[in-house]
């Protein structure tokens, strides 16, 4: 993320440290409230992106190196998928995932306990799908339907399958592995857009330069 933070402009705010000498002393910091994002006409256009599957314990910097040969462009990977919290929106490494399961369910035994039940696929004699696979239902779920080929009503039971806590969490975790990455062809467009979007515009009393604004000193008015 180092190259991303280099693009973030600065902000001067009134110092509140213990060694401040006077009430008009300012400190310069990065303006973390100024968050970069891809332009909507790019973010919503799939032609700029390609599908990518995260493998093993790969981190965003690993993906950036694989795609762009530059691990410092990990922020491009995150912005391309609108990921703001890597702890919850990116696949955990193997050990962290195991720790997460133990923390949530308490034991190995409970990890493999039943979480819920889902339907098996049900078709009539015409091969028409009556019940799709994967619907969350009670364990004793059954269905009655009219089969036009038999010209009669049919009742189907024993059409559920158990989903363990592990299977449930694993599905969620694996869905995080399917991401989009910006095609390298368009990389310079994004880098230039990002640099321009981070610049401050004239017109505000706080404006000092394209890379610096200054907060009001409310102490002077109190």
Establish if 150 belongs to a structural domain.
yes
119 and 152 together in one domain = yes
Alpha helices in the chain (DSSP H): 2-7, 40-43, 60-68, 74-80, 86-89, 94-105, 108-111, 165-175, 187-197
What's the CA gap between 207 and 214, in Å, rounded? 7
What's the chain's average pLDDT?
A: 84
The answer to whether 113 touches 105, Cβ cutoff 8 Å, is yes
| Average pLDDT of the segment spanning 93-110 | 96
More confident residue, 48 or 59: 59
Establish if 203 belongs to a structural domain.
yes
Establish if 209 belongs to a structural domain.
yes
Helices (H) and strands (E) in the chain, counts: 9, 13
What's the CA gap between 190 and 77, in Å, rounded? 12
The residue segments making up the domain with residue 136 are 114-165
Q: With 70 as the cut, is the pLDDT of residue 220 above it?
A: no
Q: With 80 as the cut, is the pLDDT of residue 52 above it?
A: yes
86 and 128 together in one domain = no
What is the b/e burial string over 69-96, where b = at least 16 CB atoms within 10 angstroms of the residue's CB?
eebebbbbbbbbbebeeeeeebbbeeee
| Average pLDDT of the segment spanning 117-123 | 97
Q: What is the DSSP letter of 48?
A: G
Q: With 70 as the cut, is the pLDDT of residue 26 above it?
A: no
pLDDT value of position 221:
44
Establish if 156 belongs to a structural domain.
yes
pLDDT value of position 156:
95
| Number of structural domains the chain divides into | 3
Question: Is this prediction's pTM over 0.85?
Answer: no
Establish if 74 belongs to a structural domain.
yes
28 and 42 together in one domain = no
Distance of CA 158 to the CA centre of its chain: 37
Q: What is the DSSP letter of 205?
A: T
30 and 50 together in one domain = no
Establish if 103 belongs to a structural domain.
no
56 and 25 together in one domain = no
More confident residue, 50 or 221: 50
pLDDT value of position 43:
77
Establish if 96 belongs to a structural domain.
no
What's the CA gap between 99 and 112, in Å, rounded? 15
Establish if 135 belongs to a structural domain.
yes
Q: Which of 208, 178, 182 is nearest to 37 (CA)?
A: 182
What's the CA gap between 207 and 205, in Å, rounded? 6
- Please compute, for residue 80, the number of CA atoms within 13 A of its CA located in the half-sphere on the CB side: 28
pLDDT tier at 46, thresholds 50, 70, 90 = confident
pLDDT value of position 16:
63
56 and 158 together in one domain = no
């Amino acid at each position: 993320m180092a190259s991303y933070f280099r693009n973030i402009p600065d902000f001067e705010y009134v110092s509140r440290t213990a060694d401040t000498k006077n009430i008009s002393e300012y400190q310069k910091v990065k303006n973390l409230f100024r968050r970069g994002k891809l332009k909507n006409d790019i973010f919503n256009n799939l032609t700029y992106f390609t599908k990518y599957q995260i493998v093993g314990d790969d981190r965003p910097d690993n993906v950036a190196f694989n795609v762009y040969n530059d691990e410092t462009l990990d922020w491009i990977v995150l912005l391309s998928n609108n990921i703001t919290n890597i702890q919850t929106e990116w696949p955990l490494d193997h050990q962290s995932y195991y720790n997460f399961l133990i923390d949530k369910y308490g034991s190995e035994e409970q990890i493999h306990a039943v979480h819920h039940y889902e339907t098996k696929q049900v078709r009539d004699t015409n091969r028409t799908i009556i019940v799709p696979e994967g619907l969350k239902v009670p364990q004793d779920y059954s269905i009655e339907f009219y089969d036009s080929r038999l010209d009669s009503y049919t009742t189907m039971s024993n059409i559920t399958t158990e989903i363990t806590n592990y299977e449930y969490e694993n599905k969620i975790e694996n869905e995080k592995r399917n991401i989009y990455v910006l095609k390298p062809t368009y990389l310079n467009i994004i880098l230039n857009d990002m640099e321009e979007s981070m610049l401050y515009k004239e017109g505000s009393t706080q404006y000092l330069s394209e890379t610096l604004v200054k907060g009001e000193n409310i102490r002077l008015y109190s």
